[in-house]
Amino acid sequence: MSRIPELGRRGEGWLVLQGLLFAAIVASSFAGVYWPGAVESFLAVLGLGVGVAGVVVLVLGVLALGRSFTPLPRPHPRAEFRERGPYRFVRHPIYGGIILVAFGWSVAEAPVALAPSCLLAVLFDLKSRREEAWLIERYPAYAGYRGRTRRFVPRLY
């Protein structure tokens, strides 16, 4: 059994925390803190590239889940265990894609947003652990899948 809290019957509290961090990331754009002019253009292009990559990973993850997709960590009753598409490479491509979008935004637009983006990455790591405890309860094959597939970054993490 996981020691990560459930935060609601289906994990609704995790979604609330995500929303607060998303709001902090966007609000950081209005802090008036910008990158130095010498690197601003380079970082804008780099951030845009990272953000676009994140959107692609996110969309592929959602498409691969189809009707099984839910933003809540407890699987929906109609959900099916999936190992195709980006799930062949990582267990949580949607979370990884969102993290890339957050860091891309931070690098391109708002350096202050790096702090809530880091917190978002930690939150998704914890949320994914809670989700995996529920997935193992629901799908016995998930334990084997977890053993051979990385969480967010192929071959690394």
pLDDT in tens, 63-120: 999 999 999 999 999 999 999 999 999 999 999 999 999 999 999 998 999 999 999 9
Residue 88 corresponds to which tokens in the numbers above? 């062949």
Report pLDDT digits (tens) over 8-40. Answer: 999 999 999 999 999 999 999 899 999 999 999
To the question of pTM greater than 0.85 for the whole model, the response is yes
Which domains are delineated in the chain?
44-148 (1.20.120.1630)
Residues 6+ apart with CB under 8 A from 85: 60, 61, 63, 64, 93
User: Mean of the pLDDT values across residues 37-55?
Assistant: 97
Question: Any idea what the Cα angle at residue 97 is, between residues 95 and 24, rounded to 5°?
Answer: 75
pLDDT at 155: 87
> Nearest CA to 64 among 86, 91, 42, 92?
86
3-state secondary structure 13-51: HHHHHHHHHHHHHHHHHHCCCCCCHHHHHHHHHHHHHHH
pLDDT at 2: 61
Q: Is pLDDT above 70 for 1?
A: no
pLDDT at 40: 94
DSSP state of 55: H
